[in-house]
Amino acid sequence: MTLTCRNCGQEVHVPITPDQKARVESRFKTGEYIQDILPEISDELREMFISRTCPTCWRLIFPEEED
Number of domains in the chain: 1
* Res 67: pLDDT: 63
Does residue 54 surpass a pLDDT of 80? yes
Residue 67 lies in a domain: no
The model's pTM: 0.77
Confirm whether 53 is domain-assigned.
yes
Evaluate whether residue 50 is within a structural domain: yes
Answer yes or no: is 66 within a domain. no
What is the average pLDDT value for the chain, to the nearest integer? 91
Give the residues across from 4 on adjacent strands: 11
> Is residue 45 a part of any domain in this protein?
yes
Q: What is the mean pLDDT of residues 40-64?
A: 90
Q: State which residues form the domain around 12.
A: 2-61
Q: What contacts 61, CB < 8 A, 6 or more positions away?
A: 7, 53
What average pLDDT does the segment 60-67 reach?
80
